[in-house]
Each structure stands twice: as structure tokens, then as C-alpha cells.
Structure 1
Amino acid sequence: MTPTTETADLHLEPGCLSASCILALDLGTTTGWAIRDHDGLITSGTTSFRPGRFDGGGMRYLHFANWLTEIDRLSGPIAAIWFEEVRRHVGTDAAHVYGGLIATLTSWAELRSVPYEGVPVGTIKRHATGKGNADKDAMVAAARARGFSPADDNEADAIAILHWAIETNGGVA
């Protein structure tokens, strides 16, 4: 995991929980993440949940749950989680991985009473670029326009989700 740390103007609504820690995720084998800490600092990056050669089928999800716990311990406590809600996958394997990550995320959050919410793909893209069907390059360009240096489209999507959550909901689920 190679995180990048950037700061940006957070246009928070009056009365929002500006001191709360919120996490945004673009779930997949390579998961993009962005987190706003208690001080308003935004950190983002990607991490891989690709199973190792000798890992069993559930190890990807165990690693993901452990990663969430570590993020919560180091940067939290996490007050809310926002994630990209994908309704259509090109491949069956991607759909299965996404379903497993969603199940892991929601059970992890439920056990800790952390609110979570999915944001439709088109909503994220429209908020970031003005087009609900923006491509990966446009999402990376939108993140760069906000002053970030995303490693890839996964990180760019997580940054866009985080900004959507902050700007439309004050970061609170």
C-alpha cells in the first residue's frame, strides 16, 4: 500500500461534523481509498486484496477486514463509510469479488455501529466531472484538478466519493 497525502479545501456545510473521520472506498481487488481525518487532512491511496498463491478463497476478505480495523485504529475512529455502489459488472469474477467485499464491509461496519452508504457510479462521476458516464482518464483529471495526485482511477474514484460525501452530506451518513 503506497498512500499519497494531499490537502484540499473542504467546503463543509455549517453545522456538519467537521471533526469526524470519514472513509471513502472504491471496492475491488485493487481498492481505492480516501480518508478525511479529524483535522480535515485528506489521505488517499490504493491497496491490493489480490490473494496469494497459497491463500484460501476467504483470505482476500479476511485481509480486507483486517485492513479496515487497522485504518480505524490508526486514523479513526471512523464515523462514516461511503463506497461506490456498482450495479453492473463486466465480468462474473469482478461481481463475486465486489459482493464479498461489500459483505465484509457491511458486517465490519455493523459490528462497530459505523454508518455506511453506497453512492451510485453515475452520481460520483457527475459530481466529479459533470458527466455521469465519464471515463477513467476524466476521473483522474478531476482529482488532479482538485490538487491530488492519484496513482490510478481507483484512487481517483475514492477521492471523488469522499468529496461528494463532504460536499453533499457534510461527511455524515
Structure 2
Amino acid sequence: MTETILALDLGTHTGWALHHRDGTITSGTAHFQPHRFEGGGMRYLRFKRWLSELLTSGDISEVYFEEVRRHAGVDAAHAYGGFLAHLTAWCEHRNIPYQGVPVGTIKKHATGKGNAGKAEMIAAARARGLDPQDANEADALALLAWAVDQEGVT
């Protein structure tokens, strides 16, 4: 039996991909934009609730996340840091191993280029027979493919 691996492209629009024990893959994008008249921490509470809902769909053996070293702006950096802090604490609490993978590593694995753009990442996912709805989902699918190859999962 194979492992259940979760791959995440963290952010306000979090791309996710899940490799189930039976070898099937599900994926999508979850949105954690703060709503009007609520505190900024609500996005992280929704993120943690969403992670727990994913966990109820089956045991998660490992979590991989896109490790971003540079951000377009301060707000994006703060949001990423908040999502990363909540993700790692959530994993630690449940004894789920987690690992960050550099963006360039994921892009190179998916397209052969470490600096591939959004359109190239979406095209690479489609070439593998997948149908991402946006670049966040495509990035998560690419990370999942990298993780599956690294783990030797079938």
C-alpha cells in the first residue's frame, strides 16, 4: 500500500494536491482571503480547519510545501509566513512529517527549467494528463509529482 502525500503551494489562494493510498490524485485551490469586518487571523483559522477536513478524508503520511525564499511584496511574505507557521504546527501536533522544497527544484522537475512561468507550469501539468484550474493548483501538482518521484511511491 502506498502513502498518502499532501503537496501545498501556500498562500491566500493555496494550491493543493493529494496522492491517495490507492494511487489516485485529487487537487484544487482553497481560498483564504480575509473577509470584510474580520481580523486577519481568521484566514489562518480557516486554513487549519481546512487541513483538518482534509485529514478526515484519509491518513496523511507526509506533507510537502513549496519553500518560497523571495516574495513579490511584504504582505505576501507575511501571509506565507503565517500559513507556514500554522502548517508546521499542525503537522507537529499530529506527528506528520513535513518538508519544504525550493521553487526552482519544483519548476525544473516539472518543465526542465528552474525559472518556468505560470503558463509553462500549467502546460506541464496538462501534459501529464491533469487539468489544473490555475497556477496554484499546477504548482501543487508539480510538487506532488516531485515528492512521489523522491519517495518512489507508485
TM-score (norm 1): 0.86
2:48 partner letter: A
Other structure's SS at 1:127 match: helix
2:43 partner letter: R
- In the alignment, structure 1 residue 117 sits paired with structure 2 residue 106: no
2:109 partner letter: H
Unmatched 5+ residue regions in structure 1? 1-17
Other structure's SS at 1:84 match: strand
2:7 equivalent in structure 1: 24
2:36 equivalent in structure 1: 53
The Cα of 1:20 is off from its aligned counterpart by: 1.4
Deviation digits for residues 44-64 of structure 1, max 9, x if unmatched?
Answer: 100100011122121000100
TM-score (norm 2): 0.97
Aligned residue pair count: 153
The Cα of 1:169 is off from its aligned counterpart by: 2.3
The Cα of 1:170 is off from its aligned counterpart by: 2.7
The Cα of 1:77 is off from its aligned counterpart by: 1.0
Which residue among 49, 63, 85 is the counterpart of 1:103? 85
The Cα of 1:38 is off from its aligned counterpart by: 1.3
Other structure's SS at 1:78 match: coil
Q: CA RMSD in A?
A: 0.9
2:128 equivalent in structure 1: 146
1:65 equivalent in structure 2: 48
Other structure's SS at 2:15 match: strand
Kindly, what percent of the aligned residue pairs are identical? 63
1:87 partner letter: R
Unmatched 5+ residue regions in structure 2? none
1:92 partner letter: V
